[in-house]
Amino acid sequence: MTRHVLTGARIFDGQMIHSDRALVIEGTVIAGLIPADQAPKAAQHLTGLLAPAFLDLQVNGGGGHLVGATTTAADLATVCAAHRGLGTAGVLPTLITDTAEATARVIAAGVAAIGTPGFLGLHLEGPHLDPRRKGAHDPALIRPMEAEDLARLCDAATRLPALLVTLAPESATPDQIATLTRAGAVVSLGHSDCSFDTAQAAFAAGARCATHLFNAMSQIGNREPGLAGAVLTADAAAGLIADGIHVHPATMRLALTARVDGVFLVTDCMSFAGTDLTEMTLHGRRVLRRDGRLSLEDGTLAGADLTLPQAIGNLVTKVGISPERALAMASRIPARVIGVEDRFGHIAPGRAAELVLLDTDFGLSGYWSGAGWHIAPT
């Protein structure tokens, strides 16, 4: 079994940053951390920060492919590979609001993709949303959840490694939310104009997450806290798009002060991820990539042009969050949300060697997977 020792870089182990440790890898598994002064002369010397590779629970596409009605298992592999090249060890490819037939086809593709490197399951964002908070979703395809939809989702939850379902409480009953939760799905509230009380009832029924905090949801008011207020006062996780466009840095700072744990980073990226593409089509509408922003022709935001290293850098430099907390929001916390914390999110003995090396500006310098570098350190 090949033994590798990586030294010189600071190491974030999932909880704290060590500046005086070397990392030992045996084969494809982490053996542990040792004092840096005990590293052998043959150890590989690095500069920067080593951390657990990232997880992204909301990726609409990547590598030129947008998850949709024609998606196959091979397409999902393309999406996963594109994000692994960006330092993300695992993703939930995300289907936004579509027909029942398209949903069934993507679920079948997901089941066929089990075992694909980087594939953690699926995120179905809609179609059971509130058209008043549609965002870039096609309002003609938004509809309430029916018995057939519920049965399809429950079956998918039993067959996929993980299933995240974004819905609006206006389009699904508490009983449907409870049934989905019992089946093993992670129910996330989003694209909703619901009241604070309605959101609380959905959380009580089993929902335990919220999708892209502050975006496409009822906001905090002085007498009606809305879904955003319910998220910040509940024991629920929440995804956050930290590009500085979807949520102002001051608003992010307020939210992260209110919630000391549970908020995690997502990119909400589109097929542009990992490519130089400047335009794509979403349900017959053009999505434009301009100056770090993705939007429909009418200016509506349509996902984000963002990577997780960029999001981490934004949190540290623009919001004032500690590097430890920002790194956990891209690794340990999302791993906990979908129940894979035993595999991801920590650098510890027995864990798979899935690592990123970041530079002093939190840019990606290298990505270690398995037994070696897939992107060599610069």
Q: In this structure, are 73 and 159 located in the same domain?
A: yes
Task: For residues 102 and 122, give the distance between their C-alpha atoms in angstroms, rounded to a whole number.
Answer: 13
User: Which ranges of 43-97 does DSSP label H, i.e. alpha helix?
Assistant: 73-84
Above 90 in pLDDT, residue 224? yes
Q: In this structure, are 100 and 37 located in the same domain?
A: no
Q: In this structure, are 164 and 228 located in the same domain?
A: yes
pLDDT tens digits for 323-338? Answer: 999 999 999 999 999 9
Q: In this structure, is the dihedral angle defined by the CA atoms of residues 168, 173, 179 and 181, taken in order, positive or negative?
A: positive
Q: Which residues are catalytic?
A: 268
Q: In this structure, are 254 and 370 located in the same domain?
A: no
What backbone torsions phi and psi does residue 357 show, to the nearest 5 degrees? -115, 120
Task: For residues 207 and 19, give the distance between their C-alpha atoms in angstroms, rounded to a whole number.
Answer: 39
Element (H, E) at 361: none
- Which band of pLDDT confidence, cut at 50, 70 and 90, is reported for residue 378? confident
Domain membership of residue 17 as a residue range: 3-51+345-375
Q: In this structure, are 19 and 88 located in the same domain?
A: no
Give 84's contacts (C-beta < 8 A, 6+ positions apart): 117, 118, 367, 369, 374
- The domain tally of the chain equals 2
| pTM for this entry | 0.96
Task: For residues 271 and 289, give the distance between their C-alpha atoms in angstroms, rounded to a whole number.
Answer: 11
Q: In this structure, are 196 and 309 located in the same domain?
A: yes
Instruction: Name the amino acid, one letter, at 39.
Output: A
For residue 283, the model assigns a pLDDT of: 87
Instruction: Identify the three-state secondary structure at position 304.
Output: coil
Give the chain's mean pLDDT.
96
Q: Is 276 exposed, middle or buried (0-12, 13-18, 19+ CB in 10 A)?
A: exposed
Element (H, E) at 178: helix 174-183
Q: Residue 358, CB half-sphere, CA atoms under 13 Å: how many?
A: 27
**For the chain, first and last CA: distance in Å?**
27
Q: In this structure, are 216 and 305 located in the same domain?
A: yes
- DSSP-assigned letter for residue 139: G
Q: CATH number, domain at 366?
A: 2.30.40.10
Number of CB atoms found within 10 A of residue 322's CB: 11
Q: In this structure, are 198 and 106 located in the same domain?
A: yes
Above 80 in pLDDT, residue 1? no
Q: In this structure, are 303 and 154 located in the same domain?
A: yes
